[in-house]
Amino acid sequence: MAVTGAILVGFLIAHMIGNLKIFLGASDFDHYAEWLRTMGEPAVPRRTVLTILEIVLGVSVLLHMWSAISLARRARAARPVKYQGKKKSNAQGYATHTMRYGGVVILLFVIWHLLDLTFYAVNPKGSDATPYDRVVADFDASRWYITVWYVLAVLLVGLHLRHGIWSAFQTLGLRSPRNNNALRGLAGGLAAVVTIGFIAVPISVTFGWVS
Amino acid sequence: MKLTLRIWRQKGPQDEGRMVEYELDDISPDASFLEMLDVLNERLITEGEEPVAFDHDCREGICGMCSLVINGTPHGPERMTTTCQLHMRKFKDGEVIDVEPWRARAFPVVKDLVVDRSSFDRMIQSGGYITAPTGTAPEAHSVPVPKADADHAFEAAECIGCGACVAACPNGSAALFLGAKVTHLGLMPQGQPERWDRVVSMLETHDEAGFGGCTNTGECTVACPKGIPLDVISNLNRDFLKATVGGKKK
Ligand code: HEM
Ligand code: SF4
Ligand code: FES
């Protein structure tokens, strides 16, 4: 959970920074998209590095889900008779309680997102458009509901990170009373940066700041 | 005080069990929660009914026998307090109070509010000990222990093995109890010979007993009457990784 989560956090940060290139204009953004495919050339053929990264990501997501599902199943088995009284949670914040259903929503989002901007199946523009045009068409003001869906999913990613990053340090035995506040700060800070960085793009297109 | 109690009644391990309502009047706000149950039981006995079975022993917050999930919270609403040290003045006059046993597969109900916590004993038997011959109390300065380690070990040693951490955990995990033992013994020089075997075999026994896996929700430490901190789980994970991935366990 912690190791695969960390790989996914690294991916999210890189992906977010890449997305922000949209504010530098169409040619910069498209040039970056092209670079993703030509990384490592001419030492290795086109798309080699990108494909390796995609495999690492895919395996990480699968292992992360597998751990989450086994933990959830063990939890269900560990308490066969539920409490009758009103369920009380006395600890920590809201984010902790969103981890399981949030993870499922994030997965559904990732599937939609791949169909949208990787395979173009649900994108208004097809494969003959540029990456920039596909993003701009995707979040057009007339398609505001797509923007809302992206924003909600990213907010859940933010909550997932807010608990998950701190939790990963605890799982690896790296948290102590001395670094606890720093780790809470790191988790909250990274969650906020990633959330705002991702949300900036669809919002800017919908409001016409990027066209 | 006037109270409505909704108590889990279960005749034995095979019985299905149900919540039963009892009205109580004239309860002193200075009574402890268990004394309030004593009053109810005296009445049930005079009425020829079966009294409510619940665990208790010292009634001074040190033995770890008392349990009870009160209004959804193990050991009730007052932090850092066992059920036996909880007083009725913490409740409102006329309040409806739900009383249930610890709920975990590894803590099967014996009767009413009494659960069998011998899975904790099995965990201790699988590693929660030292093998050094202890004899009589040694001269305190003969084995020097750094002050910070001694303090942390003592903090972890405050665990009374009540199981509230498991009752509170949404995953039904006993990681806090386990972490307390591993931290307590792992910080002392006397605990070093078994250190890496201890963490692995105690965790195996934990999983075999049917406790769930920890996801760091933090509910345990809030419910713990001794305030055992989450740090002990970080220590547990660190020792486990060192013992297995780090190859320290022979
Ligand atoms: C694909 C669907 C996903 C599911 C079903 C899922 C589910 C979960 C669950 C159930 C947990 C344990 C929660 C807990 O501590 O209570 C978790 C932890 C975590 N998740 Fe996810 N998650 C998903 C996607 C992601 C993504 C996209 C990222 C990274 C960006 C991520 C990063 C993390 C991290 C860092 C942890 C903490 C690991 C630990 O405590 O050791 N997850 N996830
Ligand atoms: S860690 Fe706290 S709640 Fe858990 S058994 Fe020990 S004293 Fe009870
Ligand atoms: S009866 Fe001993 S701790 Fe409550």
**Quick one: B159 and B46 in the same domain?**
no
pLDDT at B24: 97
Q: Are residues B82 and B147 in the same domain?
A: no
Question: B76, B91, B110: which is the final residue of a domain?
Answer: B110
Mean of pLDDT over chain B = 96
Examine the domain organization and report whether B173 and B96 are in the same domain: no
CATH number for position B17: 3.10.20.30
Q: Same structural domain for residues B102 and B139?
A: no
- Rounded Cα gap, residues B106 and B120, in angstroms: 9
When divided into structural domains, chain A yields a total of: 1
From chain B, pick out residues whose CB is under 8 angstroms from the CB of A79.
103-105, 172, 212
Question: How many independent structural domains does chain B possess?
Answer: 2
- Whether residue B101 is found in the same domain as residue B131: no
**pLDDT mean over B21-31:** 97
Residue B201: CATH number of its domain = 1.10.1060.10
Decide if pLDDT at B133 tops 90.
Answer: no
Judge whether residue B142 has pLDDT over 90. Answer: no
List the beta strands (DSSP E) in chain A. none
User: What's the gap in Å between the CA of A16 and the closest CA on chain B?
Assistant: 27
> Which residue, judged by its Cα, is nearest atom 3 of ligand 3?
B61
Residue B250 included in any domain: no
Evaluate if residue A7 carries a pLDDT over 90.
yes
Select from B46, B80, B110 the last residue of a domain. B110
- Please report which confidence band the pLDDT of residue B205 belongs to, taking 50, 70 and 90 as the band edges: very high
Q: What is the pLDDT of residue B58?
A: 97
| pLDDT bracket for residue A211 (50, 70, 90) | confident
Chain B residues close to A167, C-beta within 8 Å: 215-216
Residue A26 CB neighbours (<10 A):
16
What's the mean per-residue pLDDT of chain A?
A: 95
Mean pLDDT of A162-182: 96
* Chain segment B63-80, per-residue pLDDT in tens: 999 999 999 999 999 999
Per residue in A185-198, pLDDT (tens digit) is 999 999 999 999 99
Q: In angstroms, rounded to a whole number, what is the distance separating the alpha carbons of residues A65 and B230?
A: 25
On the CB side of B89, CA atoms within 13 Å amount to 4
Shared domain check, B141 and B60: no
Domain's final residue, options B69, B94, B110: B110
Does A89 map to a domain?
no
Which CATH number fits the domain that encloses residue A202? 1.20.1300.10
Render pLDDT for A66-107 as a digit per residue (tens, 0 to 9).
999 999 999 999 999 999 987 678 776 789 999 999 999 999
Q: Is residue B214 situated within a structural domain?
A: yes
The pLDDT tens digits for A19-76 are 999 999 999 999 999 999 999 999 999 999 999 999 999 999 999 999 999 999 999 9
Q: Work out the number of other CB atoms within 10 angstroms of the CB of residue B121.
A: 12
Place of tokens 């003001």: A141
B81 plus B123 within the same structural domain: no
A24: domain range?
A: 2-77+95-206
What residues contact residue B146 under an 8 Å CB cut-off, 6+ apart?
none
The pLDDT of residue B35 is above 80: yes
Tell whether B97 and B146 lie within a shared domain: no
Give me the pLDDT at residue A154, please. Answer: 98
Work out the percent of chain B whose per-residue pLDDT is above 70: 100
pLDDT tens for each residue of B69-114: 999 999 999 999 999 999 999 999 999 999 999 999 999 999 999 9
Residues of A in contact with B218 (CB under 8 A): 91-92, 96
Among A136, A87, A134, A90, which residue's Cα sits nearest to residue A114? Answer: A134
Q: Do B238 and B138 fall within a single domain?
A: yes
- The answer to whether residues B146 and B50 belong to one domain is no
Pick from A86, A170, A174, A176 the residue to mutate for testing the B interface (most B CBs within 10 Å): A170
Question: How confident is residue B139, by pLDDT bands cut at 50, 70 and 90?
Answer: confident
Query: Are residues B126 and B233 part of one domain?
Result: yes
* Confidence class for position B187, pLDDT limits 50, 70, 90: very high
Q: Is residue B59, in this structure, part of any structural domain at all? A: yes
Q: Which domain holds residue B162?
A: 118-244
Q: Are B155 and B228 in contact (CB under 8 A)?
A: yes
Question: In this complex, which of B103, B173, B215 lies closest to A82 when CB atoms are compared?
Answer: B103
**3-class secondary structure for B152-190?**
HHHHHHCCCCCCHHHHHCCCCCCHHHHHHHHHHHHCCHH
